[in-house]
Amino acid sequence: MAENDFNFPEDLRDAQRELHQVHAELRALGKTLPWSVEPAEGWERPEGHWYPSQRPATSGWTEEQKSAVAALRARALELSIQVGTHAFWKTVGAGKVVEARMRLKHVETPAADAAAA
């Protein structure tokens, strides 16, 4: 069954797309952040341990970084609630809700939709 077999309302599709985008932004931001939110001393686990690892000393996240992460997490929560409680789910047969939710997670991005048209 294809994604469009469920006839997802556009506002639900848009919310899912934005949720994907917010998660991508959060992942990208996370890759740029220091390893610790708070200032922390560095450490090194020597070779003799079951796996060697190390972290440099860090001054932690800036207030701007903390705010950016908090805003993205808050938006992701809002969108998750919007998607999960959308009225559409009441119109899907009980045996198809899980399948429909999984299909919605694979909704195409607007750029991919335009390219396919």
47 pLDDT higher than 90: no
d(CA 112, CA 20): 13
Q: Bigger pLDDT: 45 or 112? A: 45
With contact defined as beta carbons under 8 Å apart, do 45 and 52 qualify? yes
What is the secondary structure of 54-78 as a DSSP string?
EE--B----HHHHHHHHHHHHHHHH
Residue 116's pLDDT is what?
45
In a domain, 57, yes or no: no
Report d(CA 15, CA 4) in Å as an integer. 16
Q: Are 17 and 109 in contact (CB under 8 A)?
A: yes
- Residue 20 covered by a domain: yes
Domain count, the chain: 1
Separation of alpha carbons 75 and 101, rounded Å: 20
- What was the pLDDT predicted at 117? 42
In a domain, 70, yes or no: yes
pLDDT on residue 109: 59
Residue 96 resides in a domain: yes
| pLDDT value at 106 more than 70 | yes
Asked if residue 47 is part of any domain, the answer here is: no
Q: Tell me the helices (H) and strands (E) count for the chain, helix number first.
A: 4, 2
Domain span including residue 17: 7-35+62-116
Bigger pLDDT: 28 or 108?
28
Decide if 50 is inside a domain: no
The answer to whether residue 51 sits within a structural domain is no
pLDDT greater than 90 at residue 49: no
How many CA atoms does the CB half-sphere of 12 hold within 13 Å? 20
Residue 105 lies in a domain: yes
For range 53-68, the mean pLDDT: 96
Q: Tell me if 89 sits within 8 A of 69, measured CB to CB.
A: no
Of the candidate ranges 6-15, 28-37, 51-60, the one whose mean pLDDT is the lowest: 51-60
Among the residue ranges 33-47, 61-75, 99-113, the one predicted with the least confidence is 99-113
pLDDT of 97 higher than 90 = yes
| Rounded average pLDDT over 84-110 | 90
40: phi then psi, degrees, rounded to nearest 5:
-150, 145
